[in-house]
Amino acid sequence: MVNRIARLPLAVLFLTLLLLSGADARPRVHHADKPHPQPDNPDGPFLADFPPGDPRIPSSHARDFSAGRVRFDGEKLVRLTLRPHDDAEELRDLRDGLVFYLESALALDVWGVHRTDEGGFAVDFRCSDEQLRTVADTLGVEADKRVEMEVVNPDIQEAIDRENVRLLKAHVEKVKGMAKKPGKKPPPANPSNPSAWFKEYHPYPEILSFFSNLAAEHPSLATFTPSIGKTYEGRDIAAITISAVPAEARDALKVKQIWWQGMIHAREWISGATVQFLAHKLLTAHADESDPDHTWAVKVLNESEFTIIPTVNPDGYEYTWSRDRMWRKNRRPVTGSSAYGVDLNRNYPDGWGTGGASKNPYSEAYQGPSPLSEPEVKVLTSYFLSHMKRAVLAIDFHSYSQLVLRPLGYSSYPAPHDAKLKAVGDAARDAIRATSGKKYVSEREIDLYAASGTAEDWFYSVDVGKKTTEDRGGNGRVYGFTIELRPSANEGGWGGDGFILPPESIIPVGEEIWAAMKAVVPKVLDDPLVNK
Ligand SMILES: [Zn+2]
Residue 391 and residue 492 in one domain = yes
Residue 164 within any structural domain of the chain: no
Residue 388 within any structural domain of the chain: yes
Q: Are 147 and 8 in contact (CB under 8 A)?
A: yes
**What distance in angstroms lies between residue 263's CA and the mean position of ligand 1's atoms?**
8
Q: Are 271 and 397 in contact (CB under 8 A)?
A: yes
**What distance in angstroms lies between residue 144's CA and the mean position of ligand 1's atoms?**
32
The 10 Å CB-count burial string (b at 16+, else e) for 440-463 is bbbbbbbebbbbbbbbbbbbbbee
Residue 194 within any structural domain of the chain: no
Residue 147 and residue 292 in one domain = no
Residue 185 within any structural domain of the chain: no
Domain boundary, last residue among 94, 124, 159: 159
d(CA 201, CA 476): 38
3-state helix, strand, coil in the chain (%, to 5): 40, 20, 40
**What distance in angstroms lies between residue 185's CA and the mean position of ligand 1's atoms?**
35
Residue 107 and residue 224 in one domain = no
Domain boundary, last residue among 144, 159, 174: 159
Residue 336 and residue 399 in one domain = yes
**What distance in angstroms lies between residue 88's CA and the mean position of ligand 1's atoms?**
26
Residue 183 within any structural domain of the chain: no
Domain boundary, last residue among 159, 194, 224: 159
**What distance in angstroms lies between residue 219's CA and the mean position of ligand 1's atoms?**
32
d(CA 409, CA 352): 11
Residue 346 within any structural domain of the chain: yes
Q: Could you tell me whether strands 391-399 and 304-309 are parallel, antiparallel, or unpaired per DSSP bridges?
A: unpaired
**What distance in angstroms lies between residue 16's CA and the mean position of ligand 1's atoms?**
28
**What distance in angstroms lies between residue 264's CA and the mean position of ligand 1's atoms?**
7
Residue 235 and residue 347 in one domain = yes
Tell me, what's the ipTM? 1.00
Residue 443 and residue 382 in one domain = yes
Residue 89 within any structural domain of the chain: yes
Nearest to 149 by CA among 108, 181, 177, 180: 108
Tell whether the torsion through CA atoms of 419, 271, 317 and 325 is positive or negative: positive
- CATH number of the CATH domain containing 393: 3.40.630.10
Residue 12 and residue 85 in one domain = yes
Q: How many structural domains compose the chain?
A: 2
Q: What domain range includes position 13?
A: 3-159
For ligand 1, a single-atom ion, which residues have Cβ within 5 Å? 265, 268, 398
Residue 139 and residue 263 in one domain = no
Q: Which of 75, 305, 364, 484 is catalytic?
A: 484
**What distance in angstroms lies between residue 183's CA and the mean position of ligand 1's atoms?**
40
Catalytic-residue membership of 158: no
Residue 145 within any structural domain of the chain: yes
Q: Are 64 and 326 in contact (CB under 8 A)?
A: no
pLDDT tens by residue, the chain, 532 residues: 334 434 444 444 544 454 444 333 333 333 333 333 333 333 333 333 333 333 333 333 333 334 478 999 999 999 999 988 889 888 998 898 889 999 999 999 999 999 999 999 999 999 999 999 888 777 764 556 677 889 999 999 999 999 999 998 888 887 787 777 766 666 667 888 888 999 999 999 999 999 999 999 999 999 999 999 999 999 999 999 999 999 999 999 999 999 999 999 999 999 999 999 999 999 999 999 999 999 999 999 999 999 999 999 999 999 999 999 999 999 999 998 899 999 999 999 999 999 899 999 999 999 999 999 999 999 999 999 999 999 999 999 999 999 999 999 999 999 999 999 999 999 999 999 999 999 999 999 999 999 999 999 999 999 999 999 999 999 999 999 999 999 999 888 788 889 999 999 999 999 999 999 999 999 999 999 999 8
